[in-house]
């Protein structure tokens, strides 16, 4: 299992940060590590695959490539899947699920393509295991197979993660628009607060003034305290045949033996006290309650946290598509309030509040609203493209230098 071809999918825009993270975690480089659109190819060992599952904050999954071949029809897919030695990965007593994605595939039905791959796997097991074949289970399968089809090539992967890696195991209380943990980590990487290659964090205090269920703050605190992203969860590889519990235990022990680190001060606040409650409970589960101060309050009124007199870094995904009333009462999901869908005056007031009270701070805001700097009457000093699922976003950086934040030219 030394030279596995791994693929780690990630949100578009995050590939280079993920490649840095993989390099830092495994030491792999050169031909063994290649960023591509939507993910990173890694040539590594089974141990690397387990380590990446445990530590990576940016990967959505760790997949092992088992076949890559040209195809033109569903019958070709059947032949490609029949040629894979599935029996070295799982047993016919286990359940499995196939997920197919496609980019410009000429096939008319992805369902039928998936069915042919499923038939090939079942038939191969039937032939090898005296008539016994694994069954399909779509909700909680033991094993997940991924098929990716392009115009002319089919790639088959077996998954080692199980539930996607953004599910860290601590976020049980959420609001309406929680940010994926992987994207929160990507924002921290893009802001420079966290260096995904070395694992180092900046000494600057971090503040999310619209913290919702606390994802950004909790992710930051876990990084600051050196808690592995997957410390609280199980992984798909535990159900695969090559799994050796003692090797996994040694990886977990290594993680537990890391010297404790101290996190810089981290703060979160939200206008909704219910959200603050959720954030506190999530932080408790994530083992970082001591490292974060959560408060209630309107972002338009909150002054810089007392523990950050010299400034710091603001990181947030602000409300979007919500009605924000005077006094900061947000009615989440009130889509019928079309007149205020753009946040109305909220963003220009936020910018004025920051210019007046947050001199010396740098703010990073993730939004699908490309007009946000104009709405804030601020000129961004950086814009990083990032995708939140299918939604194209920008992470804007604003530097709060008192009196000098420039308005964009009309």
Positions touching ligand SAM (CB under 6 A) are: 175, 177-179, 209-210, 212-213, 215-216, 270-272, 275, 298-300, 317, 319, 324, 328, 330
Give CA angle at 200 (302, 310), nearest 5°: 35
Q: Work out how close the CB of 350 gets to ligand SAM at its nearest, in angstroms, rounded to a whole number.
A: 8
Name which of 149 and 211 has its Cβ closer to ligand SAM.
211
Q: Work out how close the CB of 369 gets to ligand SAM at its nearest, in angstroms, rounded to a whole number.
A: 12
Strands 206-208 and 153-159 come out as unpaired
Q: Work out how close the CB of 389 gets to ligand SAM at its nearest, in angstroms, rounded to a whole number.
A: 13
Bridge-partner residues for 197, per DSSP? none
Name which of 120 and 217 has its Cβ closer to ligand SAM.
217
Tokens 């490539």 sit on residue = 65
Task: Please name the residues in contact with 223: beta carbons below 8 A apart, sequence gap of 6 or more.
Answer: 57, 185, 188, 194, 199, 201, 263
Closest residue to bound ligand SAM by CB: 212
Q: What is the dihedral of CA 356, 357, 361, 367, to 10 degrees?
A: -70
Q: Which of 312, 317, 401 is nearest to 356 (CA)?
A: 401
Q: Work out how close the CB of 233 gets to ligand SAM at its nearest, in angstroms, rounded to a whole number.
A: 18
Name which of 44 and 175 has its Cβ closer to ligand SAM.
175
Q: Work out how close the CB of 164 gets to ligand SAM at its nearest, in angstroms, rounded to a whole number.
A: 16
Name which of 228 and 343 has its Cβ closer to ligand SAM.
343
Name which of 216 and 372 has its Cβ closer to ligand SAM.
216
Name which of 126 and 331 has its Cβ closer to ligand SAM.
331
Name which of 100 and 215 has its Cβ closer to ligand SAM.
215
Q: Work out how close the CB of 392 gets to ligand SAM at its nearest, in angstroms, rounded to a whole number.
A: 16
Residue 338 CA to residue 344 CA, distance in Å, equals 10
Q: Work out how close the CB of 271 gets to ligand SAM at its nearest, in angstroms, rounded to a whole number.
A: 4
């Amino acid at each position: 299992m030394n030279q596995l071809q791994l693929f780690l999918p990630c949100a578009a825009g995050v590939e280079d940060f993920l490649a840095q993270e993989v390099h830092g975690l495994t030491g792999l480089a050169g031909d063994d590590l290649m960023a591509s659109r939507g993910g990173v190819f890694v040539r590594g060992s089974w141990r690397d695959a387990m380590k990446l599952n445990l530590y990576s904050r940016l990967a959505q999954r760790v997949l092992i490539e088992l076949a890559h071949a040209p195809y033109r029809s569903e019958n070709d897919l059947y032949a490609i899947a029949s040629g894979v030695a599935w029996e070295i990965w799982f047993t016919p007593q286990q359940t499995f699920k196939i997920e197919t994605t496609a980019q410009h595939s000429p096939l008319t039905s992805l369902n039928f393509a998936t069915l042919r791959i499923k038939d090939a796997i079942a038939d191969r097991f039937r032939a090898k295991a005296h008539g016994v074949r694994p069954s399909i289970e779509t909700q909680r399968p033991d094993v997940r197979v991924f098929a990716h089809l392009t115009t002319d090539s089919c790639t088959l992967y077996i998954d080692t993660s199980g539930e996607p890696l953004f599910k860290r195991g601590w976020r049980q209380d959420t609001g309406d628009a929680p940010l994926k943990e992987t994207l929160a980590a990507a924002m921290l990487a893009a802001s420079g607060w966290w260096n995904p290659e070395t694992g180092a964090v900046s000494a600057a205090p971090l503040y999310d003034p619209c913290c919702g269920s606390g994802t950004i703050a909790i992710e930051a605190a876990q990084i600051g305290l050196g808690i592995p992203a997957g410390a609280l969860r199980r992984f798909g590889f535990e159900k695969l045949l090559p799994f050796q519990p003692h090797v996994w235990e040694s990886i977990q022990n290594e993680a537990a033996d890391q010297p404790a680190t101290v996190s810089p001060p981290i703060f979160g606040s939200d206008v909704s006290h219910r959200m603050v409650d959720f954030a506190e409970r999530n932080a408790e589960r994530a083992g970082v309650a001591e490292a974060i101060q959560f408060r209630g309050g309107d972002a338009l009124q909150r002054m810089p946290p007392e523990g950050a007199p010299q400034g710091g870094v603001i990181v947030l995904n602000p409300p979007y598509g919500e009605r924000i009333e005077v006094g900061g009462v947000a009615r989440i999901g009130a889509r019928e309030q079309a007149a205020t869908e753009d946040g109305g005056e909220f963003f220009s007031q936020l910018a004025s509040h920051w210019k007046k009270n947050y001199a010396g701070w740098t703010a990073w805001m993730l939004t699908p609203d490309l007009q946000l700097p104009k709405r804030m009457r601020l000129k961004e000093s950086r814009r990083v493209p990032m995708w939140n699922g299918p939604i194209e976003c920008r992470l804007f950086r604003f530097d709060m230098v008192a009196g000098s934040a420039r308005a964009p030219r009309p």
